[in-house]
Amino acid sequence: MEFLKSGIKTVLGSTEPGQQPSAAETVEKLVDRVYSSTLLEDRRDACRALKALSRKYRIEVGAQGMPPLVQVLQNDGQDAEIISYALDTLCNIVTSEEFDEEADNPAVSVNVGEQFTEMFIKSPEHVTLVMGYLDEYDFRVRRGAIQLITSLIANKTRELQELVLVSPMGVSKLMDLLTDSREVIRNDVLLLLIELTKGNSNIQKIVAFENAFDRLFDIVREEGCSDGGIVVEDCLILLLNLLKNNSSNQQFFKEGSYIQRLAPMFLLNNSNSNSDADDSAWTPQKVSNFHCLLQVVRALVTPSNQQQVVTACQRVMQKSQLLQALCDILMSSGVPADILTETINAVAEVVRGDRENQDELSRVQAPSQPPRPAIVVLLMSMINEKQLLALRCAVLYCFECYLYRNSDGQRAVVQTLLPSSATDVSSLSTGQLLCTGLFSTDTLANWFAAVALMHTLVENVAQKEELLRVLLATPGGQRPITLLEQCTNLMQQERYRLQSKVGLLMLLSVWLAHCPSAVKALLETQGTMAYLTAQLCANEHDELQR
């Protein structure tokens, strides 16, 4: 800054007494010194001054200073100090961050960093030049190069990904930096790789085959796993980038036995405790880390993946006891609501379509007195209007996945609705809970219960016919009515809101499909066809009739 002051005084000498030089004039003077000075010390002082000005006068420094700064990178590589100044200045120019010093400058637009990024990468050799400085061990140079590349990628992701791909050993250089003994360098590289791997399957594959999974798991373990800090979250976000929608990496992850290394991270000390868990154990950072862990699990078994990959990962998750650990979290007390919701979603996709996993979920018992099946406890939450909507939706999704291609599970639910002398009437069953929700005064509970019951009938004609046998008691000792009759009666009641009726229509539609007995029963219910026909032919298109 002393040089900057002397530079200003020099400019002042050519202006009227008392007149301050403009920022553009000062920058112009400094840029001229970078260009013309033969002494390295003079160029270094000018670069230091430009760095100081770049936070407040970004536009002036960027417009005039970019070419000479690139020239410094090309010609003065032997001096670490001037190179660090040049890299830091360029990073300030192209960053999307708004500095406090420029907050009052109306000339700074929102995307000024993006505009300067576009100017910088017009010459692809500029990026190659900066990438070359990743080989320098000097802390200031290496970190400056990492931060500059990160800012460039954040602004022009696709363009920089292509430039990094064609840069000699570009991705390999970045992966080598993950083993840098200086944690600051390692952590900055993590942020760079997160930006670099977004939506680019080619880079994702290269990073994965450069031993990324081992290195990330080593860092996570060193940092304390789910109890660790922000670095753990960064590692898991990068892991998620590598796995999401990338079947090659998913297969590699499974074959490399990395799912087995994932499983222990879900173990909770209080997973089998009935007492309230210590809420303080769930710090905001631990919640973030756990959420990322669950997202990684779902990235491996989401239904949008290739079926053979999903099936293989589901088997490993069962054998490695990862599914058991997730179920323990479901039944634990004190788990934050958002973590519980995401865990339910993860369990849903781990068991979806896999009979062994579905059977394991059906055997899980809640640590209550008396013990209740986990499925029953989840359904109790689904029909409880006091629960969060996201949690209730997750339970419905889990129940759907539990019944997906699970004819035995569908039959077990329907059987709880049929009269049986062996049934313990004092204990809640899945069927009783679904009927409770179906006839509740809570509109959402009506819809959730109807859709859940619908999934007990999907592609299962035998259970559709069995459900026709369900009889419901009526007040006043009148004859019992069938469940199908009750559904049609409820649909015609004025007190039932639109969402409730939509749920009932969904249930009836699946029930009737490919089941002549159900169609016959519907046709025999009094007034139903007249009501449905009236809805189709109504002229008044109000909210209920649309």
- Answer whether the bond into residue 480 is a cis peptide, omega within 30°: no
389-403 helix and 407-415 helix, angle to the nearest 10 degrees: 110
Please indicate, yes or no, if residue 508 is contained in any of the structural domains: no
Structure tokens at 9: 């005084």
Please indicate, yes or no, if residue 209 is contained in any of the structural domains: yes
> How many domains is the chain built from?
1
Residues of the chain with pLDDT under 50: 1-15, 270-277, 421-423, 425-426, 546
Rounded alpha-carbon distances, angstroms, from residue 290 to 208, 226, 228, 296, 305? 22, 6, 10, 10, 22
Q: What is the pLDDT of residue 454?
A: 97
Q: What is the pLDDT of residue 474?
A: 77
Please indicate, yes or no, if residue 386 is contained in any of the structural domains: no
Q: What is the pLDDT of residue 531?
A: 87
What is the extent of the structural domain holding 292?
201-351
Q: What is the pLDDT of residue 509?
A: 96
CA triplet 297, 281, 316: central angle to 5 degrees?
20
Please indicate, yes or no, if residue 247 is contained in any of the structural domains: yes
Rounded alpha-carbon distances, angstroms, from residue 400 to 130, 360, 418, 440, 457? 52, 16, 21, 21, 11
Q: What is the pLDDT of residue 267?
A: 86
CATH number at residue 340: 1.25.10.10
Distance CA 417, CA 399 (A): 17
Structure tokens at 46: 């000018």
23-36 helix and 2-12 helix, angle to the nearest 10 degrees: 110
> Residue 19: CB partners within 8 Å, gap ≥ 6?
12
Q: What is the pLDDT of residue 108?
A: 63
Question: Residues 285, 233: contact at Cβ < 8 Å?
Answer: yes
Instruction: Give the three-state DSSP class for 135.
Output: helix
Distance CA 301, CA 308 (A): 10
**Among 265, 252, 170, residue whose Cα is nearest residue 213:** 252
